Structure 1
Amino acid sequence: MREITLKIPDKKLSFFLELVEQLGFEISRDSIAPSEEHKSIVRKRMAQSGQNPERLLNWENEQDNFRFNE
């Protein structure tokens, strides 16, 4: 059996998954674990934030600055 990776637009994902299931294909919904390098970067940023909490932004104040695709 072969595996392939597809990039599906968010708007079409549910349709695509339903189609694939109807065709009887196996779907793997496993998440990809972050690499040790990425974990190290996150740990470093968390430590920096703990040492300098004033550098953080408050989500309640900033969320209107983001646009989310609908």
Structure 2
Amino acid sequence: MKTQIINDVNGLPTGVFIPIEDWELIKKYYPNIEKVDQQLPQWQKDILDSRLADLDNPNNLGPIDELFRVLDSE
């Protein structure tokens, strides 16, 4: 996949260009990809906020794959 980063006048990345052939392939494997930018309903945000509030230190969150690796090693 040959993507291009689009930068603003300050050189900061603002977007990505994906060739249409690659985009069509992505949509084939992830049919709901175009709905990714939809907002979460407030009830889902409330649940996430509640769960984050229950954490001792949200900065210690890590990828789920790492958790599975640790659990598999035990």
Class of the TM-score when normalised by the shorter of the 2 chains: 0.3 to 0.5
Kindly indicate whether structure 1 or structure 2 has the higher relative contact order, using CA contacts under 8 Å at least 6 residues apart. 2
Larger CA Rg, structure 1 vs 2 = 1
TM-score (norm 2): 0.33
The structure with the largest strand share of the pair is 2
